[in-house]
Structure 1
Amino acid sequence: MIKVVKLKASIPPGFVKAAARELRKNRLLLKSGTKLKFGAYLDPIAKIQLNEIFSRKCAFCESVIAGTQPGDVEHYRPKGKVILDGAVGPVQPSKPGYHWLAAKWSNLLISCADCNRPRTQPDHDHVNRVIGKANFFPLRKEASRAKGPASLWLEEPLLLNPCIDDPDEHLVFLDDGRIEPAKVGDDLSEKGRATIRYCGLARSELLQMRARHRRVVMAAIRHIVAAIECDNDPGADLDDLLSMLSPSEPYVAFTRSLVREHLMDYLGSLKLDAL
Structure 2
Amino acid sequence: MGNKNPTSVIREALAKVLVFYYPFAGRLKEGPSRKLLVDCSGEGVLFIEAEADVTFEQFGDALHPPFPCLDELLYDVPRSSGTIDSPLLLIQVTRLLCGGFIFAMRLNHTMSDGQGIVQFMTALDEMAWGAATPSTLPIWRRELLFARDPPHVTCTHHGYDEVEGKIIPTDDMIQKTFFFGSTEVSALRRFVPPHLKKCSTFEVIIASIWRCRTIALQPDPKKEMRMICLVNASVKFKSLVPVGYYGNTFAYPVAISTAKDLHNKPLGHAV
Mark yes or no: TM-score above 0.5. Answer: no
TM-score, with length taken from structure 1: 0.23
User: Where is the helix percentage greater, Structure 1 or Structure 2?
Assistant: 1
TM-score, with length taken from structure 2: 0.23
Q: Which has the larger radius of gyration?
A: 2
